[in-house]
Amino acid sequence: MRLPRMMTFWLAGAAVLLPVAGCSSDEPAAGQAPQATTAAPSEAPAEEVNAHPFTGKPYGSLRPVLAVKIENTAAGKPQLGLKSADIVYVEQVEAGLTRIMAIFSSKLPAKVGPVRSARISDLHIAPQFGKPAFSYSGAQTKMLPFIAEASLFDVGDTRNPGAYFRQPGRFAPYNLFANTKQLLSKAPKATKAKDIGFTFGDAPAEGGVERKSYSVKWPAARFTFAWSEEKKQWMIWQDGKKDMAAEGGQLGAPTIVVQYTKTERSEFHDKNDSYTPLVHTTGKGSAIVLRDGKAFKAKWERESEDSGTTFTTESGEPMNFAPGQVWVALASRKPVIP
């Protein structure tokens, strides 16, 4: 049964003492058992709290969606703003490398970057968010008509130059950053966050395999997601190095989705004649969902480009994500869980 998108919290006069967190660690660590002191139940009525469609966390009001194309090679790291993203998509680009499309709505960092050029796969992902604001830095001339017709508001650097700036201490083209409020100010009608198919809640009772780490490879890039019991997140490594944030600390998320898709050559290519991959995110396929230190085999389905992507268990039940940020790695190899 599909879980409702409303989270209900019962108010009770219970005082719960949580264990004090120890020193930060990137490796899984066993937590201490909480101790609780319980008072008499309260007569207070239930309070309904909205669950955000992108994160499953409580929210006050839904805000416009901003999608930003961000560099994802060593030359552009550390990236700024990713910690605030609701969803982070990892896409294959030319030469087997990867680039990121970060989705912001419930939180909005002041600045984000390095902002890089758009790809054809972005235009196929965006419509499930309605008509979001889309921030990018340039595109192949041949692709500009596709962007003009896409379901998005173009707030790229040529349409909205005042929102972009060169970050001192970095070199071009990895020094272009953007002010997010200025980006959204140029897209006042951008679609607000809405249901995109995600469900949040308890993990499936069966089917999960305990994993300390899970790796995903592209022709010229490799990600490893390692579970930290202390942080309750999958900490992220790229190409053997910790994936650090410009704000400080290592990037990580409570839910990682490895979505296996069909990836083929598109009609576009870069200046070195390396072809641009087209990642197909509609249709059906298999996935691995990492949460709570376990890997779950799952299935995904997206009927059309303007519909969301649903994830289910192998038995057909909703594949719930853990509340919080979600990373979606769009990979082409089939999943394997030993």
CB contact at 8 A, 196 and 132: no
User: What residue spans define the domains of the chain?
Assistant: 66-185, 208-331
SS3 250: strand
pLDDT tens, per residue, the chain with 338 residues: 444 443 333 333 333 333 333 333 333 333 333 344 344 444 555 556 689 999 999 999 999 999 999 999 999 999 999 999 999 999 999 888 999 999 999 999 999 999 999 999 999 999 999 999 999 998 888 889 999 999 999 999 999 999 999 999 999 999 999 999 999 999 999 999 999 999 999 999 888 999 999 999 999 999 999 999 999 999 999 999 999 999 999 999 999 999 999 887 776 766 666 778 888 999 999 999 999 999 999 999 999 999 999 999 998 999 999 999 999 999 986 544 54
DSSP 59-97: -SS--B-EEEEE--SGGGPSBBSGGG-SEEEEEE-GGG-
Amino acid identity, residue 62? Answer: L
Query: Which residue do the tokens 């038995």 mark?
Result: 315
pTM to 2 decimal places: 0.84
Which of 64, 66, 162, 157 minimizes the C-alpha distance to 116?
157
Neighbours of 2 (CB within 10 A): 10
Of 327, 313, 326, which is closest to residue 54 (Cα–Cα)? 326
Q: What is the dihedral of CA 295, 277, 237, 227, to 10 degrees?
A: -10
Q: Note the pLDDT of residue 47.
A: 54
**DSSP per position, 201-248:** SSPPSSSEEE-SEEEEEETTEEEEEEEETTTTEEEEEETTEE-BBTTS
Class of domain 66-185: alpha beta
In this prediction, residue 105 carries a pLDDT of: 98
| Three-state SS at 182 | helix
61 is written with which tokens?
């009001």
Calpha distance 52→62 (Å, rounded): 8
208-331 architecture in CATH? 3-Layer(bba) Sandwich (3.50)
The radius of gyration computed from the CA coordinates of the chain, to the nearest angstrom, equals 20
**Angle, vertex CA 336, rays to CA 326 and CA 1, nearest 5:** 55
User: Which pLDDT score is estimated for 249?
Assistant: 96
- Give the residue carrying structure tokens 């910790």: 242
User: Tokens in use for 141?
Assistant: 């001339």
What is the three-class DSSP state of 98? strand
Structure tokens at 190: 């951008």
DSSP class per residue in 137-153: S---GGGHHHHHHSSSE
State residue 263's pLDDT score: 83
Q: Which amino acid is at 302?
A: R
